[in-house]
A and B are shown apart, each in its own frame.
Chain A
Amino acid sequence: MKRVYVPRDSAALALGADELAAAIGAEALRRGVALKIIRNGSRGLLWLEPLVEVETAAGRVGYGNVAVEDVAGLFDAGFDAGGAHPAGVGLVEQIPYLKNQQRLTFARIGITDPLSTEDYLAHGGIQGLRHALAMSAQDACQALIDSGLRGRGGAAFPAGIKWRTVLGATASQKYVVCNADEGDSGTFSDRLVMESDPFMLIEGMTIAGISSGATQGWIYVRSEYPHAVATLEHAIVLARAAGWLGANLLGSGKTFELSVVMGAGSYVCGEETALLESLEGRRGIVRAKPPIPALSGLYGQPTVINNVVTLATVPIIFARGAEFYRAFGLGRSRGTLAVQLAGNIRQGGLVELAFGITLRQLVFEYGGGTRTGRPARAIQVGGPLGTYLPESQWDIPLDYEAYAAVGAVVGHGGVVVHDDRADLAALAQYAMKFCAIESCGKCTPCRIGSTRGVEVLQRIRDGDNSPRQVTLLRDLCDTMVNGSLCAMGGMTPYPVLSALNHFPEDFGLPPTSADAAAA
């Protein structure tokens, strides 16, 4: 029977994929065409969603931006045999956007049915877990250290060091916690993992458990991602039935249990200690460090806490070996980075590549420039706490150290493009406002500083751009950077100061001060 793929990812659903799948099924029935509709994950080519694919002898042929109204026309064109149609995009794997990527972590997304254990096994799943079960916990931690994998949530801490710290701690109970509170605007790679390849995250967490001595895992998913929660919960049931979770993992005698908990709309719960507080049933208030969660985390026990993409990258490292993964990337940024092209961009989606590509290549060669067709002006990298990069910085290679050298952050890999109509003073004020809304309130620089920041930026935007106001703003930012307990208050000044330094004209200041700041 012919196989037709209609994605079940949130991005496709938001453009009517459920209605589309139903319409294709009904039309096939009406015409007496035998079809099997598979609800695959997304390929990450989000600008083409809903992207319908059909299996042909030459490979999977795609039809992009398909609407319910197009269904009859697709059948007329013989789309189920790959027939020509205006929506046709040819062989999906030959689309340069996808073909030129280095998909390691995201190798399976969109190809498989996310809830098929057979598909997962057929596409290399569970090999990593088998290898990890055959290793000692010490060797497993060392393998992860050797791979060079650093935390993809934003902090970029070496994942293997964290695991080894937990392994070395003595405790009756240890935990693995997955931070799936992906709150940064411009990011969706965690969501893609959870909705399009959930077994990969489950496998990665299980490997983390057996490598660190933890037997219980939690995935803390934000409430804005109900589809991800539902997919994960279903996948956990299937994984348990397949022997990939629970007691006696793959007959090894080792145990790992896993549960999902949904957050409740607080951005600061993406900070690891606030997340642990929230999981324990308290307000998401940041904890002072030390102690670090690896020694005193969930319920005071040693806890591996990693981001979704970090944990989802673990299976391929164990399946193919640390050297394989390490061969990608440069310097101290090893492996691949999942960049998410977002905002005002023509071809938004997921681009996984080895570290080292430039923003200009990403936004123009992959992204195709702005969706409005106007010149791009400012690009924010790394979420709401990341800097706005002006064109003069678009040729810096995207890696942790090169970005840090210019005061920017890679963060979780979100890239949000703004065109020439963007008001950077308004965006700077929004950054402060967002901090005021989301601050947990524990430390003064963040709680009070953000509100004062909104006020001083309002005075500047109202035309009072005297040196006094700008000095006040810089002084306030200095206090927030150096005095805040966590990155919420500590990094809110990044977008603010980068906007001020690189786009002074938006603040009513002479453009010359930009050169002074850059020099």
Chain B
Amino acid sequence: MLKAATPQAQDLVARHVQPGQPLLTILHAIQAEAGYLPAGVISPLAQALNLSRAEVYGFITYYPHFRTAPPAALVIQVCRAEACQSMGAEALAQHIEQRTGCRFAEHTAHAAHQAEQPDTGVSLESVYCLGLCALSPALTLNQRLHAKVTPAKFDTLLAAAQAELAQPPSTAGEIL
């Protein structure tokens, strides 16, 4: 992934590197704007922060939250931790796999390692606790939290999310 920096990547880095800001904060800002961390940002980041490219690469790939590829149109994060397990999260996860035709990646929390699901436009990610443990099971659809999710409630949420995605972006903002 150590590609040469494109002008766009150079620009992203230049705009988000602020003196005294932790690397975490800089990477969050870039990902918030670009949707992921393009490979081209590594070299300019390393240069700006006086780090080696290996250190920046190592940092990015250590943390599950950082993406090294563009996210799917619909990202579904399902809590797989104990509290949600006690309320049927595993059965819910199976239902979600069946309903979306996608699969959760096994034995890794790392988003970058998630199997590519190019055809469905959906990606399924396991997360470990959303802090909604009194209202399990919990999940997010494109970062929006939902609690006490049953298979039937998931189907409704999925349909609504897909309908929202199908709308032109200009009207999407008016839903709230």
Using a CB–CB cutoff of 8 Å, the interface residues on chain A facing chain B are 10-11, 13-15, 18, 22, 46-47, 49, 182-188, 191, 223-226, 261-267, 278-284, 340-345, 348-349, 371-372, 380, 384, 414, 416-419, 422, 427, 430, 433-434, 436-438
Contacts and interface: CB of A to CB of B under 8 A. Distances in A.
Contacts of A436: 107
Contacts of B166: none
B75 interface: no
B12 interface: no
B131 A416 contact: no
A264 B64 contact: yes
B147 A47 contact: no
A449 to B, nearest CB: 16
Nearest to A188: B131
A371 B135 CA distance: 10
Contact of B87 (A263, A341, A343): A343
A264 B63 CA distance: 5
A376 to B, nearest CB: 10
B129 interface: yes
26 contacts: A15-B147, A185-B79, A185-B129, A186-B82, A187-B129, A188-B132, A223-B28, A224-B127, A224-B129, A224-B130, A224-B131, A226-B143, A261-B22, A262-B28, A264-B24, A267-B128, A282-B55, A283-B58, A284-B63, A343-B87, A343-B133, A372-B87, A416-B86, A434-B81, A437-B107, A437-B108
B84 interface: yes
Given A380-B82, A416-B133, A14 B25 contact: no
A264 B109 contact: no
Contact of B23 (A281, A384, A414): A281
Nearest to B146: A14
A349 B134 contact: yes
A283 B62 contact: yes
A107 to B, nearest CB: 20
A371 B133 contact: no
Contacts of A225: 131
Contact of B24 (A224, A263, A384): A263
Contacts of B109: 265, 437-438
Contact of B136 (A183, A224, A343): A343
B66 A348 contact: no
Contacts, number: 152
Nearest to B66: A264
B163 interface: no
B148 interface: yes
Nearest to A440: B62
A266 B135 contact: no
A342 B136 contact: yes
Given A187-B131, A283-B62, A384-B82, 16 more contacts: A10-B145, A14-B138, A186-B81, A188-B132, A261-B22, A262-B25, A262-B28, A264-B27, A343-B82, A344-B136, A348-B133, A348-B134, A371-B87, A416-B82, A416-B86, A434-B128
A344 B49 contact: no
B133 A414 contact: yes
Given A188-B132, A349-B134, A434-B128, A283 B59 contact: yes
B86 A344 contact: yes
A187 B132 CA distance: 8
Nearest to A441: B62
Contacts of B127: 224, 265
Contact of B81 (A15, A265, A384, A418): A384
A371 B133 CA distance: 13
Across chains A and B, which 8 residue pairs bring their CB atoms closest together, nearest first? Answer: A348-B134, A185-B81, A264-B63, A342-B133, A281-B23, A265-B65, A265-B64, A264-B65
B24 A438 contact: no
Interface in B1-51: 22-25, 27-28, 49, 51
B176 interface: yes
A286 B145 CA distance: 31
A177 to B, nearest CB: 12
Contacts of A264: 24, 27-28, 63-66
Nearest to A278: B24
A88 B59 CA distance: 51
A262 B129 contact: no
A348 B138 CA distance: 14
A422 B86 contact: yes
Contact of B86 (A262, A265, A283, A419): A419
B86 A187 contact: no
Contacts of A416: 82-83, 86, 133
B163 to A, nearest CB: 16
B162 interface: no
B85 interface: yes
A417 B87 CA distance: 9
Interface in B112-149: 127-136, 138, 143, 145-148
Given A187-B133, A224-B131, A417 B86 contact: yes
A11 B138 CA distance: 10
Contact of A343 (B22, B27, B51, B83): B83
B134 A47 contact: yes
Contact of A15 (B49, B87, B107, B148): B148
Interface in B70-89: 79, 81-87
Contact of B131 (A10, A265, A341): A10
A185 B134 CA distance: 10
Nearest to A227: B145
B68 to A, nearest CB: 13
Contacts of A185: 79, 81-84, 128-129, 133
Contacts of A10: 130-132, 145
